[in-house]
Structure formats: C-alpha cells, structure tokens
Amino acid sequence: MYQSHLTRRSLRSFTRWMESRNIRLSDGLNIVKGEKCGIVCDELGVTAACDLQEGEVIAIIPKDACLTLRTTGAANLLNDAQLSGGLGLVVALMYERSRGEASPWFPYLNLLPLCHKALPIVWESDEIHNFLLGTELHSVILEDRKLIEEDWRECIWPLTQEYPTEFPEEHFSLEHYFSAKTLVSSRSFEVDDYHGYGMVPVADLFNHKTNNEDVHVMDEPNLCIIDESVSTSDRHPVEEESNYLGCSFIDNLTNAQHHSCSTIKERNDQCRNEVLEIVLVRDVPMGSEIFNTYGELSNASLLHRHGFTEPDNPFDIVNIDYVLVMQYCTSFFSKCHVRNRIRFWRKYGCAPLTSQASEYFEIEASGKPQPELLFLLYIMHLPEKDVLAAEVALHELDTAVKADCAMNWEMKAWKTFFDFPANHLKRARCNRYTWSKSEGEIDSCIMFFFTSNVCESLIWLSEKRDQAYGQATLEEDLKLLEDARQRDNEKLFHALYLRVSERSILRRLCHHSFEELKKNRSQKRDDCLLHQKDAYTRKNMPREY
C-alpha cells in the first residue's frame, strides 16, 4: 500500500498529522514492510507489538479526517459539475494532490504511492497480452483502459477548461487520472451514507486475508461494518448471484450505488456519529500481522482491484463462456436441436451469468461446475421422450402449486428438475410439494446429472478453455511461477499465479468428470453383466409343468 522508500521523516510527519486530526492509534501496533506470497512489495502492514485481545479498539478515525466528496476543498465544484460516486472521489483525490502542502491531507497523501503499479490497469500493453493471456482479466483490462480514456475525455478534460485555476491541466492529465483511479479502486472505504466512499487514513494499512480477518472497521455506535473499496466484493449488489469480476473497473467507480452530492439527504450533524473505529474481532498474539478482509473475492478480482493474488483462495473461480458451450453443442447436434433444448432449458428458469456484454458459467475452486451448465448439457443429451415427460411434469407441478402462495415458482421449477431423472419422473427423492433440501442434498441431486455424456462434454469444455492460455503447459507455468518468486518479480508472479490457479480449477473439473465417467462406464458394464446373468438364468431355469 505504501512505497518501500518511505523515510522516517515522512512517517513522523504523518504521525504528527494524525495527532492534529485527532486520529488515535493503539500503542500495541507496529507498522512494518509487507509482503505478498513471500514477495516483498511496496506496501506496509500492521503487526501486534504485544498480545491483543478480541474487542479492543485499536484505532479511532474522525470522519472529517477522511478524504470524501463532503470534506474535499472541491466539494462545491464537484457538486456543480455533477460528479459523484467513485468518479467524484477520483477527482477529489487529484484535486487535493494538486494543492501540494496546501492540502489538509498532504502528510497522508505524501505517503501514498503516485500509482498502484501492481494493478493490471496500468501495466504496459505487452505485459497485459503476455502475462494475462487466457485469464479472466485479459479482455476486462483491455476494455477498462478504453473506458478510462473515454471517461477522462468526457468528464475530466472539460473540468480543466471550465475551471483552469482549480483543475490545472498539468495535474489532471490522463496519466494522473489513471494513477488516482488505481488508488481509489484499491484503497477506498464506504464511510457512511452522508460521506459516501472515501480515503480513510490508517484503515488502508491493514492487508487482506480471506475469511480470516482480525479487524473490522466499524461505524459506531450503530455497530455497522464498513465496506472496503469502491467495489468490495464479487457479490456486487447488482450481481449477487455471481463471483465473477462483475461490472468493469469503470462501472464499479461510477455506478448508481454511489451517492450523488446533490441527492444525499442532508442530516443534522448532531445526529451523525463522527468517528470510525477499528476493532479486533479475534485475539492476536505478539508479532503476528493484523489483517482486514476486502471481501469474498476470486484471485482475478483481487489482482484486478488490489494488485495481488492469494494462495488457496476458496472463492477462486474460472469461467467458461456461453459461446464456447454453444460451440460444443452445435458441433455435436443440429442447430434446430440446440435451439429447442435451449428454449426448454430457459423454460426452467435457467440462464448463464452475465457481465457487461458476455455470458458465462462459473467453475468453483473445487472444480464443481455451475448447476445451470450441468443442466444445459444434460438436457442437450436428453432423449426426446424424456423431454416430453419433463414438460408434463412441469405442467402438473404448476397446477398443483397454484393454491400454495408461499411457494416460489422458480424454486418449484428447480425442484421438478432435481426430481427428474433420465428415463422417468422420480418423486421419491424429497417431498414433492416442499422445498427443504440442504446444500448437501442439493449436491447429491446435482451429482445425478453427471451422466457419461455430460462428463464427456465437461472434459471437452475444460480442455478447450485451457487452450486459451497458450501452448505452455500447467507444469511449465508452475516452474515460471517459482522463478518469478525467487526473482521478486511481483507483477509477473501474481499474473502467473492467476493463470496457475485458473488452470488448476480446469484440471480439477476435467479430473472429476473423468472419474465420474469411469464410474458410469463401470456401472454400465456391471448392469450389462447382471442383465446377461439374469437372461442366462431365465433361459436355463427348469420349466415347471
């Protein structure tokens, strides 16, 4: 987060500034040089100088010490220009930086890097193409760069022409805009409804750890946990069903969830709590690093928004494009067959996930495919007579539940599908008119759809998706990854780690599908032998007279 060449003088200046702004920091904290995955990086971290206890308040930050759209010296100008949300915060950061020592936040801003160089959005074009080829980020970053340039031309450049004194061109160039955007993307927190998002001193010192954070940033006295970053989680309010990258880098900074200065309901200052508190949520022994969490993010999202990846990330995913699935389907079935089965699939409420202009299916870190993908492949191979049987079942269920207002139609449709096997309607798996399946029961139902044909389809898709990474094998990427670690090449290391993590997920999918295929074939052979044995027994059984 902070550059490695920090001087003691700048740290002392920052400490004095914190005191002047009534920011209180516990004596039980040490600020140290950080590292990610064993690689020393241009960031700081926080460790415990002594044993710390759960519930301790280790920092108190007045909200007026945070850089927000409410507190910036350009608040009125930004309001007049109708710049709000993440975009407005980026301009506010650029404005305060342009003021130099005249800015009330100068000692804090002086500690920030000029640019978060680990974020792929500011990589060179050849680095993006070479390092990110095949990954979830490759096309996203290329699109983001175009949108950022467009954003700058439409929103930032006009400011320099209308207010040349307040927004001088030399401090509001495209390069400055890129730099400020990386910082807002990776470091901002939601302060409250009044302030919106802002740069929160001290809070951005704590590094990320998935599902094992030590602190929460709290808006006391409401005990409200404060979100980190302009977009804190893959599970964006607009896309709660997906752990994908979601909206683009630009969309995350400009979407409607950020409050406009001109539309936020004014509150009486006496009614608003004026501080944020950083509170320990677990005991931390002396010498241990103290972590926050940035949300349940995949490695693609972590690299996209924060410039690093995380080993053994349980929220990691890889996506298989809907276009690739359609390529598979049309390679083995007629277009008419594919259209009819897609129509049938959507009739059950199924659809691929969407992000910007793309549609896709997720594969989880364990290699488990998204259920909608399984069902689509299952339906694609389903005999026509069973499709007709399913249509009848769906109609019967619709008729049966019309009087049951508490039941959700979509859940009923899913339940029918769970209960519908390859050859006949199976109602014994659970109560036909209730939805009470646990996650384990649902997984058990989903496993039913791993037929031999579906497994072969998944193997084909995983191998085709893996080809997007180029000719290098996964084993070769692993060797390059270790070399990048030894050379402390942070940028290359995290790009390679993203490739390796995504390709490992595809390999798990392929391996799991292959194992299920072997089991299915073995079961089929056993069934065939049993059938032959029964036929032989019947043939040779003595007749009764």
User: What is the tens place of the pLDDT at every residue in 168-191?
Assistant: 999 999 999 999 999 998 889 999
pLDDT at residue 1 in the model = 42
pLDDT at residue 214 in the model = 92
90-94, 117-121, 373-377: range with highest mean pLDDT: 90-94
Ordered by start, the domain boundaries in the chain are 8-262+273-306, 317-456, 460-520
pLDDT at residue 250 in the model = 35
Output the 3-class SS for 341-397.
HHHHHHHCCCCCEEECCEEEEEEECCCCECHHHHHHHHHHCCCHHHHHHHHHHHHHH
Pairing of strands 39-48, 224-225: unpaired
| Model pTM score | 0.79
Question: How far is 9 from 7, CA to CA, in rounded Å?
Answer: 5
pLDDT at residue 255 in the model = 38
As a whole number of angstroms, the longest Cα–Cα distance in the chain is 113
Picking from 34-38, 73-77, 175-179, 192-196, which range would have the lowest pLDDT averaged per residue?
34-38
Over residues 366-373, mean pLDDT: 90
- Where does the pLDDT of residue 63 fall: very low under 50, low under 70, confident under 90, or very high at 90 and above? very high
Question: How far is 316 from 137, CA to CA, in rounded Å?
Answer: 13
Query: Model confidence over 457-505: pLDDT tens digits?
Result: 999 999 999 999 999 999 999 999 999 988 888 899 999 999 999 999 9
Q: Cα separations (Å) of 132 from 127, 196, 209, 304, 506? A: 8, 33, 23, 11, 16
Question: How far is 458 from 469, CA to CA, in rounded Å?
Answer: 18
pLDDT at residue 480 in the model = 94
User: Of all helices (H) and strands (E), which one includes residue 474?
Assistant: helix 474-486
Note the residue count of the chain.
Answer: 545
Give the strands of the sheet with 275-280, arranged side by side: 24-25, 57-62, 275-280, 215-219, 224-225
User: Of all helices (H) and strands (E), which one includes residue 242?
Assistant: none
Over residues 275-304, mean pLDDT: 92
- Where does the pLDDT of residue 415 fall: very low under 50, low under 70, confident under 90, or very high at 90 and above? low
Cα dihedral 395/396/397/398 (nearest 10): 50
**Do residues 135 and 123 lie in contact, with contact meaning Cβ atoms separated by under 8 Å?**
no
8-262+273-306 folds as set domain protein methyltransferase, domain 1 (3.90.1410)
Query: Model confidence over 429-447: pLDDT tens digits?
Result: 233 323 234 444 445 556 7
- Where does the pLDDT of residue 262 fall: very low under 50, low under 70, confident under 90, or very high at 90 and above? very low
